[in-house]
Structure 1
Amino acid sequence: MRILTLLLLLIGSLSCQAQFTIAGIVRDNEHNKPLPFATITTDKGKTLVTDIDGKFNTDATEWFTVAYVGYKKKKIAVIPGKEKYNIFLTQSTQQLKEVVIEQSNSANALLRKVIYRKPYNDPRQRLESFRYKTYNKLLVTANPDSIVGKIDSIYTYKRSRKRFSKIDSTEFKFKKLIEQQHLYQTEKVSEFKYTKKQGLKENVLATRMAGFKQPLYEIIGLTLQSYSVYGNNVELVETKYAGPLADDALLDYQYKILDTVAIDDRRVYVVYFTPKRKYKKRKLEGLLYIDGKNYGIAKAIFRVKNALDITSTHVFSYNEELNLWFPDEKKLKIVKGNNKNDIKILGETIKFDGVEKDKSNREKDASDYVYLISESINFEQEYNIPLTIKHPGVAIDIKQEAINRPENYWNRYRIDTLDNRSMKTYIALDSLVAKKKWEKKIFLGKKIIDGYIPVGIIDIDLRDLIKYNNYEGFRLGLGGITNSKFSNCFRIKGYGVHGTKDNAFKYSMGAAVRIGNFSSSWIGGSYTEDVREIASTSFATDKKTFKIYDPRPINISTFYEHKTWEAYLESKILPKTESHWQVTHSSIDPKFNYIYSPNGRSYSQFNLVTATAAIQWNPFSDFMQTPNGRIEVDKRFPKFTFQYTQALAGILDSDFTFGKLDFRVEMERKYLNGQRTSALIQTGVAVGDTPLTHLYSTSPNNLDRDGVLQRITFAGKNSFETMYFNEFFSSQYAIVQLKHGMSRFTIFNSLKLSPMLVTRFAWGNMENNHEHEGIEYNTLKKGYYESGIEFNEIFKGLGFTAFYRYGPYHLPQLDRNISIKVSFVLNLL
């Protein structure tokens, strides 16, 4: 989910550009086109540039000048009372000789040198180590001067007569509020450490969010701006764009030298870049300030204008000893952009005028005045020093003391003391959030998303309330786990459910003790009496995700009953891993016609003692350590899962000895044009006397009924939609799934399509298949193939899928190879 929406819920609405004393737009006199990044110099000695649309805001009081390469410079006198200026520049044939290098096409030649010298100018490639501290302040606010703030009388017309309806004081109240305080603010002090061997790590020394005693850690982990400007991609507000300094940037962007300026007594070229083909993939526009000697970046401005209007600024300072530009400060501003349709975020409607409209008749709301601004200042920089990073597998580390810093600690690191509006913001929001119980409501919302409802010291598990399958019928029950109100180092969990069709009661009860805080290590045990799908493959490290409905189990009718004692250890002690170690004793009773006959002996029921080790390894993801546990803040691929299970005969009446090795790798690549490709490879091998209950069935999801329409059910996530239940079983198997999602496009109004092309392949083999009696099945030796298309979330989460079965296991009746299913995706955020 986009954790950013939590922040948007807090601020109530998205952003709009603030208007200052003077606002204007610079245009070409002949073609009336806006001139992006024209240079504005004011009577107060300030220099600024216009945005992509040629717009600017300034506090000049007497005059300001406007300059643009290839155009005649113009001086504008400020007229008292006039707030908006339309400025037209006339082209000039005179060019700046000092910006011409290597004759023609100078900008491209300059950029080639910048790209070639990235290893020398990128601090993370050039330096062996560095360390510095950062103070960050994020505000959601508005400029009071931009709001008219008058009280309007609203009239209606009835029978051709004008009648008074009501008083509208919305803007008046909003102006009064914004004159006193900001809408929202956060502060953070961090220490960044980097070594070439261990990478980059952020230690959060202090963090404060207005209104919240405990910060929303997911928001702290958001990537609002890229750390570096030299990467192949630039990330803004959790969206990646093609970088203007990427290795292949000259294919995506066109560059133009606008001017030369002096920064830190160095001659710097001002280069304007724009996309060559805007609609092929996500791209930026902006400015690069390039050192004319070492070709490092002294300053960078990135701009994107879609549903949000985002401006990201990176400022560097020159270190003469190292001949290196090092990050000095960053600034991000988000205002409301243009879109054809209004959008909804957590129930809040954000209204847009539409890019194709010059004027809009809709009334302005608060979101038209609000903007978000984030500023970071670096200090206490040290370079190439002996440095060791503790716990390098965690990208962001937040200690308990960071959320409880006194005011005198903050005053040590703030660049400027808080103004009256900022101080009142903390006081007002602390009171408002407590009064409205927003912190409790957000905490409750996060719990529900995870599948729980807190009731006192217990979190009720929503997954145990109701389910359905063809064997149990409706599975009704209640379950839960104790929360931190009960204890931070001890937990009890359990559930009890009843099946309306099999008329049987199932339950589980267990407890665990925390033995490691940083590693989130728990040791515990449980007892369970329940049923489970035969030949199903599950990894012990997989999280039990919450779903309003679980589509595939609805169609399952073949289960086995188990009574299981379990002792386990779970831990995240190894970097970027989650591991689960368990020993179990189970009594197995198949609830279908089945006899297992290994070595001349027959079993309709049996006992198993197993030891299992499972590890989930996400080597490329970034993790954040918080006082409440570890969070995966940046999910990257590939991800690997390993699991080994060993059953031993002769221990506690265990009947069989076998081993199972399971492996899974998940891969995903998102493209800058909005498309996405994912792959899943999964395999398993069982060796020894393994009953059918513990073998493999490769996730079938098709009912054995005549007629395509009679087989319409809900589609699974990664299941084989044309494979019938209990059709194939294997002791060794491998599956490969490829998915390619196309960019989402609109057919009309609310009908939107995002086609997903899917291909699946399965191979399997069954050793000693004569030992499994009472059930007919086939093997997958010849290879199983199906391909199809998914149209998910067509309307209110509903969609459909269509798949076709082909290859060696293609069936004679054509319709038996076709599967059409209903899909449903519920987005809580």
Structure 2
Amino acid sequence: MKQLCVLFFFLTLSLQAQFHISGTVRESLTNKPLSYASISTPEGINSVTDVDGRFDIASKTAISALNFSYLGYYKNTVKLVKNINHYAIFLFPKEDNAKYVLAPNVNPALAIINKAIANKYKNNPQEKLKSFEFKSYNKLIVSAPADSISSSIDSVFVERNSGRKFKKVDSSSYKIKEMVSKHHLFQTEKVSQFQYNNKALKESILGTKMAGFKRPIYEVLAFNLQSFSIYDRNYELFETKYKSPIADNALIDYNYKILDTVAINGRKSFMIYFKNKKESRAKGLEGVVYIDQQNYAIAKAVMHIKGVLDISGTHEFDYLEAENIWFPSSKTFKIVKGKNDDDIKILGGTIQFDGDVEENFKPRKRTASDYTYLYSESTNFDIKYNTPTQFDHEFIAVDLNEEAIHKPKSFWQQYRKDSLDIRSQKTYLALDSIAIKRNIASRLRFGRKVINGYLPLGFFDMDLRKLFSYNNYEGFRLGFGGVTNERFLRDFRISGHVAYGTKDNDFKYNIGAAAQVDRTSNSWLGFAYTDDVKEIASTSYAVEKKPFKLYDPRPINISTFYNYVSWKAYLETKVIPKTEAVLTLDQSLIEPKFNYQYILNGQNYSQYHMTTAMISLQWSPFSDYMQTPDGRIESEKRYPKFTFQFTKSLTDVLDNDFDFSKIEFKTEYEKKYLNGQKTNLLFEGGYANGDIPLTHLYNTSPNNITKESVIQRITFASKNSFETMYFNEFFSSEFVYFQFKHSFNRVKILRKVKPALVLVSRMGWGDLQKPEQHSGINYKTLNDGYFESGIELNQIFNGLGLTAFYRYGPNQLPKFEDNLAIKLSFVLKLGL
């Protein structure tokens, strides 16, 4: 989601307004920038400088003067001069400035913050008001200041052994300059109705308009750039959560300082600067909160993050005298390109950063992407509160219907706060024309399908996973498969595949069809017939969508499969809030393709029938969902997620041979840190009860082959497998599995050698009931537990990496080298 927004690139702020003033505020003696200096105008505008002392003020009416103030400095008033839009301001420190350097134990800002924390529940509209609703107009643009972009056309050279060679002419900056001098790079508008009741806030989009697209990109509309409330324990900015400066225990993490006192809506407020105490590369959230001197509510807030991206969110409020609270009136969001040593590649394009240098160690030339910016502004109106407010599907965060996509011109004239300027008007005309000429909608559709593993061919999407694979049983598996798409029929699909194994010399195939029974909940009812093979004792969740990989390394060394001939009826649905579910009824003939017999009641089974019913469900309680004309989508994926699956054999139904039940559970949690590191936790368990063959038990995903030396065992590492566990070494009828991963930032060793260090630990326990029923294969159980830890050095060169894992604990083998697994890794970056 965040990457889709980054696709529209990074920014320096350039507001579209009739009057636009910018500049810097510095200390006169040291020339150091003054962060968060207070700025006001006689016309009632209040603003602050950013962390670098810069300011950028826009107004729809003329500004006569700017008043600058900062605690411990003399105030400065500057009268504006016509045709001068940039000002360098200097403030002089007072002679008694030392008295403003206050010890933490007498810091008056702490007393004010403590009162704001103590009163936040009665000042929070979502706590004090029973209900409220309002309409909001939002406009988002991606653009660039044309006068900052070079219009030169450069020759690009590459270094060869024989010297520099001409490669191509680069006119990209020239083309972007020509474009942004006439119109924006991207623009979208929407009018929404927000409703709050029963602790739930819902957005219903009344109208939307997106330049270049007949149908909007749903993810852009649903993207929550900043929190609605600044009273929550965590404040979210650009998909990252930070502890709020007025959280109950905020004083542990933040330092505070009074900057000034200003009047907002005729009420005096303290300007309190806050900053994270941690002195690190990622300094976290900082900014200014304006706290009402009477009720200690927040009257305005400026939230800021400075790092690879320079991001800020501003919240404005209106005072509701009848309720004695401040209610959100508008908010703005901006991203300014920060500094970083790495380029970012997005869909074939490269975004460079100021920290980069060329091979001759000279600062690189700034390109058009350095100046590209994104700016979003929302204005609230028609505010009503403490009146009956009802809405359906409270778990849906954003609701968009077909009617909202096709609003007439009169709708926008009614709801726009200001008429579009000439540049914005030209944006719709230009981008609509460009989209038709370059077939943007089809290219976007094509890109989405390819990223998900499908190649669209007219009314049919070819499944790229089915083309080619390899394993020790089938050899090279060559195939073709896919599914019909919306160009065939919107509410009906036909799917299938056919494959041939060069080692087993056998064909496998599948054919199926499904009809959509409810578009709102994405409910599909279907059936399928399959004759194929599957790895024994593997665990798969029917509800999970397998991520697309150009290759899947783990099956390469698997030789134990079973054949299944299956009739299956199924229902896919999202009707239960914040869940996806699959229900199946399956009748299969199972034939192990290795030396194995299952013994039950004195009878040996080398093949057997299974009739089962299954429910597979994934619950994402912390994710946000959006209802669109094309169905329900998970607009913001958040952790933890929980996956549950239950399978029950149906006794005496369609020649079923065994009576058993299986239950599996998995939960995954992921935490991203401000410094770019990431921790991932995975817990999984399974329990099988009754009479069940080895083919349908658990192997806890081994990924090591039985060879004499470490070198001979070098293969590709998988994602969540035991890299030191040998294939078919352990089987279980009940197991638990835990994995810990921590990813560090990439380390630059050489110009093109930047490995990503990942520390991994895995552990598992299990047991096997009724071992006497399984004949023909040797194995062990996990009663004493299994442990391995390792290091991954991923993306050392062109996506290739190296991993090393070591096995220890009760199941450690006598020889040191048998416990060691060295693997190759490969990480493919598609730019998303």
**Once the 2 structures are TM-superposed, how far is the Cα of residue 149 of structure 1 from its aligned partner?**
7.4
* In 1, Cα distance between equivalents of 2:521 and 2:34: 55
Aligned AA (2:379): I
Tell me what 1:300 maps to: 301
- What whole-Å deviation, never above 9, does each CA across 1:461-484 have from its counterpart, x for those lacking one? 111111111111111111011111
**Once the 2 structures are TM-superposed, how far is the Cα of residue 804 of structure 1 from its aligned partner?**
1.3
Tell me what 2:708 maps to: 706
Tell me what 1:688 maps to: 690
1:740 and 2:742 correspond: yes
Which deviates the most, 521-530 or 93-102?
93-102
Tell me what 1:349 maps to: 350
Q: 1:407-486 alignment to 2 at 5 Å?
A: 407-486=409-488
1:206 and 2:202 correspond: no
Aligned AA (2:311): I
C-alpha change, 1:241 and 1:791, in structure 2 (3 Å) is farther
Tell me what 2:118 maps to: 116
- What whole-Å deviation, never above 9, does each CA across 1:266-309 have from its counterpart, x for those lacking one? 11111222333231754133211110111111111122232323
Kept in 1, the 8 Å contact 2:69–2:260? The answer is no
* In 2, Cα distance between equivalents of 1:300 and 1:73: 22
**Once the 2 structures are TM-superposed, how far is the Cα of residue 673 of structure 1 from its aligned partner?**
4.2
Kept in 2, the 8 Å contact 1:241–1:672? The answer is no
**Once the 2 structures are TM-superposed, how far is the Cα of residue 801 of structure 1 from its aligned partner?**
2.1
Tell me what 1:648 maps to: 650
Aligned AA (2:10): L
Tell me what 1:287 maps to: 288
* In 2, Cα distance between equivalents of 1:482 and 1:255: 59
Aligned AA (1:237): F
- What whole-Å deviation, never above 9, does each CA across 1:782-803 have from its counterpart, x for those lacking one? 2212222223333333222221
* In 2, Cα distance between equivalents of 1:533 and 1:167: 53
Kept in 1, the 8 Å contact 2:342–2:356? The answer is no
C-alpha change, 1:150 and 1:596, in structure 2 (3 Å) is closer
Tell me what 1:14 maps to: 10
Aligned AA (1:383): Y
**Once the 2 structures are TM-superposed, how far is the Cα of residue 346 of structure 1 from its aligned partner?**
2.3
Tell me what 1:160 maps to: none
Say which of 687, 696, 699 aligns to 1:697. Answer: 699
Which deviates the most, 51-60 or 676-685?
51-60
Q: Secondary structure, in 3 states, of the residue corresponding to 1:476? A: strand
Tell me what 1:627 maps to: 629
* In 2, Cα distance between equivalents of 1:374 and 1:599: 71
Aligned AA (2:316): V
Which deviates the most, 648-657 or 126-135?
648-657
Kept in 2, the 8 Å contact 1:99–1:257? The answer is no
**Once the 2 structures are TM-superposed, how far is the Cα of residue 724 of structure 1 from its aligned partner?**
0.7
Which deviates the most, 608-617 or 290-299?
608-617
* In 2, Cα distance between equivalents of 1:312 and 1:366: 24
Tell me what 2:161 maps to: none
TM-score of the pair, normalised by structure 2? 0.91
**Once the 2 structures are TM-superposed, how far is the Cα of residue 130 of structure 1 from its aligned partner?**
1.7
Which deviates the most, 678-687 or 459-468?
678-687
Tell me what 1:88 maps to: 90
- What whole-Å deviation, never above 9, does each CA across 1:712-764 have from its counterpart, x for those lacking one? 11111111111111111112222222223334444454433443322222222
Aligned AA (1:308): L
Q: Secondary structure, in 3 states, of the residue corresponding to 2:777? A: coil
Q: Secondary structure, in 3 states, of the residue corresponding to 1:115? A: helix
1:38 and 2:37 correspond: yes
C-alpha change, 1:124 and 1:80, in structure 2 (3 Å) is closer
* In 2, Cα distance between equivalents of 1:148 and 1:649: 74
Aligned AA (1:646): K
Tell me what 1:758 maps to: 760
1:788 and 2:790 correspond: yes
Tell me what 1:128 maps to: 130
Aligned AA (2:183): Q
C-alpha change, 1:588 and 1:355, in structure 2 (3 Å) is closer
* In 1, Cα distance between equivalents of 2:137 and 2:356: 37
C-alpha change, 1:635 and 1:149, in structure 2 (3 Å) is closer
* In 2, Cα distance between equivalents of 1:533 and 1:204: 47
**Once the 2 structures are TM-superposed, how far is the Cα of residue 237 of structure 1 from its aligned partner?**
2.4
**Once the 2 structures are TM-superposed, how far is the Cα of residue 85 of structure 1 from its aligned partner?**
4.5
**Once the 2 structures are TM-superposed, how far is the Cα of residue 815 of structure 1 from its aligned partner?**
0.8
Tell me what 2:165 maps to: none
Tell me what 1:657 maps to: 659
- What whole-Å deviation, never above 9, does each CA across 1:669-707 have from its counterpart, x for those lacking one? 334444433322222222222111111111111101111
Kept in 2, the 8 Å contact 1:240–1:672? The answer is no
C-alpha change, 1:175 and 1:700, in structure 2 (3 Å) is closer
Q: Secondary structure, in 3 states, of the residue corresponding to 2:232? A: coil
Tell me what 1:326 maps to: 327
* In 2, Cα distance between equivalents of 1:778 and 1:268: 71
Output the aligned Cα RMSD.
Answer: 3.1
* In 2, Cα distance between equivalents of 1:48 and 1:441: 42
Kept in 1, the 8 Å contact 2:596–2:776? The answer is yes
Kept in 1, the 8 Å contact 2:38–2:260? The answer is no
TM-score of the pair, normalised by structure 1? 0.92
1:252 and 2:248 correspond: no
Kept in 1, the 8 Å contact 2:11–2:334? The answer is no
* In 1, Cα distance between equivalents of 2:42 and 2:317: 26
C-alpha change, 1:386 and 1:327, in structure 2 (3 Å) is same
Tell me what 1:560 maps to: 562
- What whole-Å deviation, never above 9, does each CA across 1:352-396 have from its counterpart, x for those lacking one? 333999x98644432344321100011122222223331122211
* In 2, Cα distance between equivalents of 1:728 and 1:489: 45
Aligned AA (1:324): I
Aligned AA (1:214): R
Kept in 2, the 8 Å contact 1:102–1:109? The answer is no
**Once the 2 structures are TM-superposed, how far is the Cα of residue 39 of structure 1 from its aligned partner?**
3.1
Q: Secondary structure, in 3 states, of the residue corresponding to 2:728? A: coil
* In 2, Cα distance between equivalents of 1:263 and 1:64: 16
C-alpha change, 1:372 and 1:498, in structure 2 (3 Å) is same
* In 1, Cα distance between equivalents of 2:309 and 2:40: 28
Aligned AA (2:197): T
* In 2, Cα distance between equivalents of 1:356 and 1:229: 40
Kept in 2, the 8 Å contact 1:136–1:188? The answer is yes
C-alpha change, 1:583 and 1:742, in structure 2 (3 Å) is same
* In 2, Cα distance between equivalents of 1:246 and 1:102: 19
Kept in 2, the 8 Å contact 1:609–1:651? The answer is yes
* In 2, Cα distance between equivalents of 1:597 and 1:323: 77
Aligned AA (1:376): S
Identical residues among aligned pairs (%): 51
Kept in 1, the 8 Å contact 2:315–2:332? The answer is yes
Aligned AA (1:523): L
Task: Give 5+ residue unaligned stretches, structure 1.
Answer: 157-165
Kept in 1, the 8 Å contact 2:11–2:336? The answer is yes
* In 2, Cα distance between equivalents of 1:155 and 1:820: 41
C-alpha change, 1:39 and 1:653, in structure 2 (3 Å) is closer
**Once the 2 structures are TM-superposed, how far is the Cα of residue 207 of structure 1 from its aligned partner?**
1.6
Tell me what 1:24 maps to: 23
* In 1, Cα distance between equivalents of 2:767 and 2:510: 35
Q: Secondary structure, in 3 states, of the residue corresponding to 1:718? A: coil
* In 2, Cα distance between equivalents of 1:148 and 1:619: 45
C-alpha change, 1:250 and 1:750, in structure 2 (3 Å) is farther
Q: 1:607-626 alignment to 2 at 5 Å?
A: 607-626=609-628
**Once the 2 structures are TM-superposed, how far is the Cα of residue 563 of structure 1 from its aligned partner?**
0.5
Aligned AA (1:295): Y
C-alpha change, 1:423 and 1:104, in structure 2 (3 Å) is same
Kept in 1, the 8 Å contact 2:149–2:371? The answer is no
1:233 and 2:234 correspond: yes
